[in-house]
Structure 1
């Protein structure tokens, strides 16, 4: 790409130093990368760049995974777009897994979500690439990681369950990382507790039609704001409200009538706020 670690900031810093050392062929590649990164924002403002670019594995993986959480993975209107992305991911997944971008170091998080997407699309990928990151009963995001990521293990659990592989240790790790209210709020990759909570609910419920979690459901419903949305900060946000709705969508499938009525009321309030 001509970048330093797919980071526009690191690339710009390297370039600033390199030009003081005389002309170098790599400076031209760095310039081209920074210009392409700026164009990718579509802002039209010179110097505005993404914090990381490109992420041409992460974005399609998480987009399709999110369609699954929303119950839209198999929607006929999206079938062709899903087919194209799945074919690309299938071709790119190697024995070492995938990272956020092509030609970037593989990690357990991107690999796990890619496996989820491929299995949801009817493919039968091996779990070997994910096993490279397994240490004991949990998964590290990348070799040498000092503190494990809860969401990486949530995604690993989801992938293993979709593939029909044993995952008791990973499941226990995910369960052990709840807060006293039954939610997940200690994820280092995302500022909002709603992100890991939505994904954890989906992973824990996978393959278990009778799975229910009244404690998490009660806490999630209680966290709904007066305006109908959800948010970890001072105000509701569309993204976090979507995460809450994803979790409720999963929970609704195995709830008793009383619980389903409570979920329906919360969803109606959320939709009124969102729309």
Structure 2
């Protein structure tokens, strides 16, 4: 129908034109908000943020998204430690007691396997979680035995030793946990955004450590402005409630346009007026070392691959050596020195090289080695959804000799579709993960890949997505799939994935009707 297409295009137009504004738009963080309350309470008053924190406690006593159990300890411990500062209300004391009990119950999960302690870890978890456990001990709340965390503690100790040898320079990933590792504040650590390695909690800790040093007051003022901006990026409007990463304008732009590229909408004439300025901006931001999630952070392979592909699509000259900078033998990494690489980073790099006509066979073999026996790719360090990981991996295999492996992945996606037409890897179907599946299946269909189940699956998905679509709505309950110190949502990226999927589904139906 033309009418629904017009609505979808209008919302896409609005979102694309806003990409990168305010440094990006992200869901609020329990962890970073709790750290703000502990370290640098808002001058406007703490109780609105305390009440917000209490409202995010789950019925089982923990904080964080139940979709990833091991990602809940960090926000829960931070919330418990923060609420101890404001425990004179009975509901706060109850919340603390239930939170500690939750962490105690969780401990056994950390001893189950080396894979769980490493590959399923939140960003910086090997540093942050042990640090919070030590702080809980120091607070005298309850001692959590360390034996279940043995593998994690060992991993964290190795990471601390390697980070200790790294240079003190701004915008580096290893300072994102400065709230745990930092001691002496140094103005050199502040990057161009005014913060410490794009971490609100890290920046709050730095401000507190520097506040009594007259020679650092100008830097403290810059850091406070950074924290105010990070709060505004959540659009919650409660002092102290903040995001877990800030800024991330390039990440927001690049991943959003990548969704359009998968959907074959990148050059849709209805969107050209808003896409072209973003592409031009990316062209100006891409440097000889690649591109980062913002102009003030270390360049990474994921964003660089998306940029290379995007600029090639629009006829900009691209030097592929910037992408090969992130090659590590038969795969690609986001950052040098990673101990466990991300399959989706390698998949996106493969996709970029494929569209530029390069040999990708060795890298495809790396992906296949990480496939589960049932045909799925399930583990990725940046996104919790196996639908996201599988869709990226399958796209990276198009045109390869691995048709049977692709077919098995497609069948795994098809059989996981809910009866109502949506998809989810945890709980009820949601628009975001349904979009991941739809974009993969529709991409394969356009590339000539045939499977008897794809057509009917996409028809059911189309009906479900339209039934659950609310134009321009931004409910707090939307699914969180991205991984940092806790799970988060990048609303513009995720919504553009959803809208792109719905638009191509509607266009597909129009073609079938001969409209």
Above 0.5 in TM-score? Answer: yes
Does the 8 Å contact 1:252/1:263 carry over to 2? no
Counterpart CA distance in 2 for 1:163 and 1:249 is 22
For residue 178 of structure 1, give the secondary structure of its aligned residue in structure 2. Answer: coil
Counterpart CA distance in 2 for 1:266 and 1:96 is 44
Alignment of 1:23-172 (within 5 A): 24-172=217-365
Aligned partner (choices 250, 255, 261) of residue 455 of structure 2: 261
Larger Rg: 2
For residue 376 of structure 2, give the secondary structure of its aligned residue in structure 1. Answer: coil
Q: Structure 1 residue 260: deviation in Å?
A: 4.3
Q: Tell me the equivalent position of 2:86.
A: none
Counterpart CA distance in 1 for 2:414 and 2:386 is 14
Aligned partner (choices 171, 181, 185) of residue 374 of structure 2: 181
Q: Structure 1 residue 226: deviation in Å?
A: 2.5
For residue 293 of structure 2, give the secondary structure of its aligned residue in structure 1. Answer: coil
What TM-score, normalized to structure 1? Answer: 0.92
Q: Structure 1 residue 75: deviation in Å?
A: 1.2
Q: Tell me the equivalent position of 1:6.
A: 198
Mark the runs of 5 or more structure 2 residues left unpaired by the alignment: 1-192, 470-515
Alignment of 1:213-224 (within 5 A): 213-224=406-417
Aligned partner (choices 249, 260, 270) of residue 442 of structure 2: 249
User: Per the alignment, do residues 138 and 31 of structure 1 end up closer, same or farther by CA in structure 2, a change over 3 Å counting?
Assistant: same
Aligned: 1:17 with 2:212 = no
Does the 8 Å contact 1:124/1:163 carry over to 2? no
Counterpart CA distance in 2 for 1:120 and 1:169 is 24
Q: Which moved more, 1:237-246 or 1:130-139?
A: 130-139
For residue 64 of structure 1, give the secondary structure of its aligned residue in structure 2. Answer: helix
Aligned: 1:225 with 2:418 = yes
Counterpart CA distance in 2 for 1:258 and 1:143 is 42
Q: Structure 1 residue 32: deviation in Å?
A: 0.8
Q: Structure 1 residue 29: deviation in Å?
A: 0.4
Counterpart CA distance in 1 for 2:326 and 2:299 is 10
Counterpart CA distance in 1 for 2:268 and 2:327 is 34
Q: Structure 1 residue 10: deviation in Å?
A: 0.7
Of structures 1 and 2, the one scoring higher in RCO (CA 8 A, sep 6+) is 2
Counterpart CA distance in 2 for 1:264 and 1:30 is 48
Could you list the structure 1 runs, at least 4 aligned residues long, displaced by more than 6 angstroms after superposition: none
User: Per the alignment, do residues 108 and 188 of structure 1 end up closer, same or farther by CA in structure 2, a change over 3 Å counting?
Assistant: same
What TM-score, normalized to structure 2? Answer: 0.50
For residue 76 of structure 1, give the secondary structure of its aligned residue in structure 2. Answer: coil
Does the 8 Å contact 1:58/1:101 carry over to 2? yes
Query: 1:72-128, CA deviations, whole angstroms, 9 ceiling, x for partnerless residues?
Result: 111112102111111111111111011111021111111111112112223331211
What is the root-mean-square deviation in Å for CA atoms of aligned residues? 2.1
Counterpart CA distance in 1 for 2:196 and 2:223 is 8
Mark the runs of 5 or more structure 1 residues left unpaired by the alignment: none
Q: Which moved more, 1:255-264 or 1:86-95?
A: 255-264
Does the 8 Å contact 1:58/1:110 carry over to 2? yes
Counterpart CA distance in 2 for 1:10 and 1:57 is 21
Does the 8 Å contact 2:327/2:333 carry over to 1? yes
Q: Which moved more, 1:52-61 or 1:113-122?
A: 113-122
Aligned partner (choices 201, 215, 225) of residue 394 of structure 2: 201
